[in-house]
Amino acid sequence: MRMVDSGDVRLALFEEGDPDQPAVLLLHGYPDTHRVWDEVAALLRDRFRVIRYDVRGAGASTEPPDRHDYGFDRLLGDLTAVLDAVGRPRVHLVGHDWGSIQGWEALSRAGFNERLASFTSIGGPGLRQAAHFLRDGRPRDVRAQRLRSWYIGAFRLPVLPELAWRSVLPGLLARALRGDGIEPRLGHPASTLVRDGLNGLALYRCNMGESPPDPQVADLPVQIVETTRDAYVTPALLDAVGRWAPRLWRRRVAAGHWVQRSRPETVAGMIAEFVEHVEGGAESRELRRARAGGAFGGRLVVVTGAGSGIGRATARAFGAHGAEVVCADIDRDAATRVAEDIAKDFQVKAYGVQVDVANADAMEDFSRNIIAEYGVPDIVVNNAGIAVAGAFLDHTIDDWRRTIDVNLWGVVHGCRLFGAAMAERGAGGHIVNVASLAAFAPSRVLPAYSTTKAAVKMLSDCLRAELVDYGIGVSAICPGFVSTGIASHATYTKESLREDAVRGLARRGYPAERVAAHILRAVRRNQAVVPVNAEGKIGYALSRISPGAMRGLARLSKFAGKDPSYRRR
């Protein structure tokens, strides 16, 4: 440690790592000190020159005599003093919370673009960008952000915040850390916490309240790291902030506000990848996806049963919105055709892969190969399915086995294999399981199909409860009758049933593309159960209001088996 003079304060500066490597400056937020970065710094110091300092009034740095000297002019003067002291022509700035707010302000001021090589923002939007969002954003998004920003008004009140820091706030901070899965440790929170909290109130009182100038476009590479469980910043605000950075990479981590404590390996990896690329290294696969455009730009999506019907429509819909798509199907040629069409029509990467979802070994190989070659998927759509139509007493053991293997085990394999990889990666994701109206509407015609689809819905509900801790959403999509080829490809216990079934689905006239639109919306909104089309919505509502009525309707199924000469097999 050494002390650096900046006007009327002395800043505690800490440096470690190889002086010949690129310099990374980690700037902390409120009410933290440089020690909040301990774990990340330890992971970066073998590859970079790591620089940290305590902002004025925090940790080992002194406080200004005048409590009004916490404005941006003073804060950025401190940053300039640190940059002068370390003697590096350019540094890569990483800011968290108020450290990120200072970073965004630096990008809007003359002189800093020449001294900064890149900026990584974590958990702190710029005040200029935030003001623009609060003024011009969608009312619903603005209301949501204002609710999360309630503490700003509280910290600007007289007297009460000081009383809170001297009484309840230290305990509440420890509880908030534990809520993020973090245990307090030596250095964080710092032993100077109460003093730091009291001094840092001036950050809010000196810099907030008046309308700031309009943002300036950032003329350097910017990486935004979004934490999916941040209690203080909404995704909509980060979307608005990003518009002021044309050279933007957007990353996501399934974590709370203090992500550098809860997931230091992930944060250090993202910083290192970004810095090395800006320094001239190859752009990693994850970085390339992080800068793609479109609603799902840069996302890797795996769709099973993508060779036709709902799977094909869903793969195309994700491709149309910028995603990189793996089209998987038991029919290799069909999967390849769909992938080639997506690549040609939407100018995105798409891959056709053959897999039998019912085969556990094949799915193990499939998931391992996808992850090795393309990375961990962001979205997995378990869509592959088959149908056996006819009376229960006409179903054979093979009918049941094959239906369960494809419709249920195929979903289990996809959820288990890809879900585990998503959880380990720590960047969140989404799993979509395509069930059916049959999941909650009993039928004398589709006993095996209905049973497996009901199991898929319940599996989805169970997984949703478990995977939320990893930032992974799970949706069960329950379409009614859709005009696809499933009826023509189904197995019938009596072949005479086929013609009416095919004709009925064709007459329904509900295209698979509309189901795909519901799937994309479910991912964006993280919806749990999505009944699709009129009969799907009516059936879902009726199953909740009057299960007895649904059982009564099941007895009216047109193809109910009454033939006493059923096959006992």
List residues with catalytic annotation. Answer: 449
Q: In what order do the strands lie in the sheet with 248-253?
A: 2-6, 9-17, 49-53, 23-27, 91-96, 116-122, 222-227, 248-253
**How buried is 362 (Cβ within 10 angstroms: 0-12 exposed, 13-18 middle, 19+ buried)?**
middle
Amino acid at 22: P
Q: In what order do the strands lie in the sheet with 379-382?
A: 350-354, 324-329, 300-304, 379-382, 429-434, 472-479, 529-532
Which residue in the block uniquely carries the two structure tokens 């301990």? 38
Task: Give me the phi and psi of 334, to 5 degrees please.
Answer: -65, -45
Residue 209: which residues within 8 A CB-CB, separation 6 or more?
A: 156
Q: Smallest Cα–Cα separation from 316: which of 301, 330, 329, 331?
A: 301
Are the beta carbons of 224 and 248 closer than 8 angstroms? yes
Give one DSSP letter per residue of 266-325, joined into a string. HHHHHHHHHHHHHTTPPPPHHHHHHT--STTTT-EEEEETTTSHHHHHHHHHHHHTT-EE
Tokens of 225: 């790291």
Residues 93 and 221: their CA atoms lie apart, in Å, by: 11
The alpha carbon of 2 is separated from its chain's Cα centroid by a whole number of angstroms, namely: 40
**How buried is 527 (Cβ within 10 angstroms: 0-12 exposed, 13-18 middle, 19+ buried)?**
middle
Q: Smallest Cα–Cα separation from 303: which of 321, 315, 294?
A: 315
Peptide bond into 31 cis (omega under 30): yes
Orientation angle between helical segments 72-86 and 98-107, nearest 10 degrees: 90
> In DSSP terms, which residues pair with 91 in a beta bridge?
116
Peptide bond into 189 cis (omega under 30): yes
Residues 475 and 528: their CA atoms lie apart, in Å, by: 5
> In DSSP terms, which residues pair with 479 in a beta bridge?
532
Are the beta carbons of 515 and 482 closer than 8 angstroms? yes
Q: Smallest Cα–Cα separation from 170: which of 155, 157, 153, 184?
A: 184
Which residue in the block uniquely carries the two structure tokens 């209301």? 143
Dihedral over Cα of 219, 292, 274, 278: its sign: negative
Q: Smallest Cα–Cα separation from 291: which of 216, 221, 229, 396?
A: 221
